[in-house]
Amino acid sequence: MEWKDVLPVIAGAVVILVVALVVKPALLGEPIGFGSRGLVPAGDPPAYVPPAPVPTATPFPDDGEVYTRNFRWTAIDGGVQTTQVTVPEALFREHRETPRITDYNTWGRYALADADRPVLEDLARRIAPPAANPDEEYFRLMDLVFFVQQIPYDKDDNATSYTEGALPRHAMYRAGGVEYPKYPAEMLVDGRGDCEDAAILMTGLLDALGYDTVLLRYSDHMALGIRMNEFNPCYAKYTPKYFEHEGKHYYYIEGTDFEWWNVSVGSTAIWGTPRAIGDAAGTGLPSVRSETPQIVPLRYIPEPGEYRIRPARLPGGGA
């Protein structure tokens, strides 16, 4: 046996190995070398698909039918005011046909309803016109608070709480009675409502003026909180009540009632003052005195606490 006999054998073996381990995998796109790595999915990696745009709501026509309501109320300076509110009938009807949401955590959506915003902004401007003097800011705020507190209280169970004289079809029947959170425009047209209706209307108006507010939910009551850095007026005969939420202080405001007295003995006429900011004890409700309310932000945006990507080192010393 000589070298010339051995070399072809070796050359053949090398060719077979090269074809099997290099050429074939290269042609088929498989990894070069021994073994198979299984199937790798073909195609490009997924791309970001932005959300489909949602058509904007058609604004209600200016020249359509409207509900006109006149509110006679007392400002905090004692002066009697009359304010007219107009609400497009189509808007009111649309609200009445909208099913209510059972989860009270979402009721901030009623206060911030986009369709009601023009009505609220207009009303807030007229009740509390912009003041040149910053010291007047508190009076603007209290006028607005007092305006809502003077809207008559009426329970959701009562047909008198609705301008149609009957319960709306989307009223929610519960063990404790009827629940029907009203949009601000509904409350204005009906001219009455219960605690959550007043709280929703007041937060909507205050939000239109730029105040940061939340709803305060008790077991049998709803009020609102207004964000203030410090509120401890010297005239207050009480310790202003506030609740902390995300590091901010929200002071209690009652939406449905004010301090009132009969003008004279035997008279049905009354006079009064607004229930002040932070005056939780004055409401007389045991729940307000004893419970810590659940704070319901008007704007709810689910925000994750964790979302940071940790860079992974690459095998083989890559960056």
Partner 1 sequence: MSMDPDTPEPSGGLKIPKLPDLEIPKLPNLPKITVTRKQALTAVGTAVFVVVVAVIGGAILLNYTQNQQVAAFSSHVAASEADIFQVYDKIAVHMRIPTNDLSVAECDAHMREFAAIARYGRDVTAYHRQIVAADTIPEAYTGAQSAYVRALDNLNRAFTFWSSAAGAYEMRDYAAANRNLADADEAWRAYAAAITDYDRELRAAEEEGTEEGGEEVPPPPA
Residues that bind partner 1 (CB under 8 A): 1-3, 6, 9-10, 17, 21, 31-41, 45-51, 54, 56-57, 101, 103, 105-106, 109, 112-114, 117, 212, 299-319
If phi > 0 it is left, if psi is from -120 to 50 it is alpha, else beta; for residue 230 that is beta
Number of neighbours of residue 93 by Cβ within 10 angstroms = 12
> Beta strands of 98-217 (E only): which ranges?
172-174, 177-179, 213-217
Task: Quote the CA–CA distance of 284 and 296 in Å, as a whole number.
Answer: 22
| Minimal distance, residue 7 CB to partner 1, in Å | 10
Distance from the Cα of residue 26 to its chain's centroid: 59
Nearer to partner 1, 57 or 80 (CB): 57
Contact of 243 with 250, CB cutoff 8 Å: yes
> Beta strands of 53-169 (E only): which ranges?
66-74, 80-88
| Minimal distance, residue 136 CB to partner 1, in Å | 23
Nearer to partner 1, 125 or 299 (CB): 299
Q: Which residues, 6+ apart, have CB-to-CB distance to 242 below 8 Å? A: 225, 228, 231, 249, 250, 251, 252, 278
| Minimal distance, residue 12 CB to partner 1, in Å | 12
| Minimal distance, residue 101 CB to partner 1, in Å | 5
| Minimal distance, residue 204 CB to partner 1, in Å | 11
If phi > 0 it is left, if psi is from -120 to 50 it is alpha, else beta; for residue 116 that is alpha
Nearer to partner 1, 98 or 163 (CB): 98
| Minimal distance, residue 242 CB to partner 1, in Å | 19
92 φ, ψ (degrees, to nearest 5): -60, -45
| Minimal distance, residue 259 CB to partner 1, in Å | 33
Nearer to partner 1, 10 or 270 (CB): 10
Nearer to partner 1, 135 or 306 (CB): 306
Nearer to partner 1, 234 or 309 (CB): 309
Task: Quote the CA–CA distance of 258 and 193 in Å, as a whole number.
Answer: 15
Task: Quote the CA–CA distance of 110 and 98 in Å, as a whole number.
Answer: 11
| Minimal distance, residue 68 CB to partner 1, in Å | 26
CA angle 241, 245, 248 (to 5 degrees): 75
- Strand partners for 147: none
Nearer to partner 1, 272 or 297 (CB): 297
Nearer to partner 1, 6 or 236 (CB): 6
- Encoding tokens for residue 127? 């009740």
